[in-house]
Amino acid sequence: PYFRALAETPGKFREMVEAAAAKRFPGARLLRLSAAPADAQGEPWVESEFTAPALSVSGPRTVLPAAYEAFQLSRQYAGKDERRHPLELHFTRSQTSRLTYRLGADFKPGDLPKSAQLEEPFARYVRKVETRAGEIAVSEEYALLQDRIEVKDYPKFRDFCNRVDALQEEKVVLEKK
C-alpha cells in the first residue's frame, strides 16, 4: 500500500527517490525513473538511473559505497540480544538491486568487495561483483523467506542480519590511472 500510494503521486515519488540517492551519493541527479503501475498485481518494482558527477573527486583513490541502499537489517529486525517470544515480521519480502559505476577515463578498479552468498532457512543474501571494460557492477539479492522467526532461531537470524550489514558496509575503491 505504501509503495502504491507513492507511485500514484509521480512527482512526490520521483522527489523521494532522487533525495534518497543524493543522500547516499552526494550530488546524484536522477536521469530515468520507472516503476510498476500503482494498480498492477504482483510485487512492486522500481528502476532508476542516476548520474553522480561529484563522485569524480581528485586524489589517487576514491572510496564509494558498494550497496545502492543499506538494508540495515540489524536495526530493523535484530536489535535485541535475545528474545522470549517469536519475532513477528508479518510478511516476507525480497529486494534486488544493481549498482553500476561507469568509470571515467582517469580511473581503474582498486580494492573491490568480494562476491558473497549467505543462505539460511529464513533468509538469503547474494552479492555479485563484476568488472568489465570501464564498469564495476555490484548486484544484490535479499529475500526474507519467513514471516516469523522462532525464539530458538533468533540468534542465527541476528547473526545473519549482522553479516549482511557488514557486507553492505564494504566499499568500492577506484584508483587514478
pLDDT, tens only, 71-129: 899 999 998 999 999 999 988 888 888 888 888 888 889 999 999 999 999 999 999 99
Half-sphere exposure of 85 (CA within 13 A, CB side): 2
Using CA atoms, how far apart are residues 112 and 80, in angstroms rounded to an integer? 32
Average pLDDT along the chain = 87
Q: Is residue 54 very low, low, confident or very high in pLDDT (cuts 50, 70, 90)?
A: low
* The residue type at 8: E
Using CA atoms, how far apart are residues 27 and 67, in angstroms rounded to an integer? 17
Average pLDDT over residues 4-18: 76
> Are 117 and 125 a contacting pair, CB within 8 Å?
yes
Amino acid 56: pLDDT: 57
> Are 11 and 33 a contacting pair, CB within 8 Å?
no
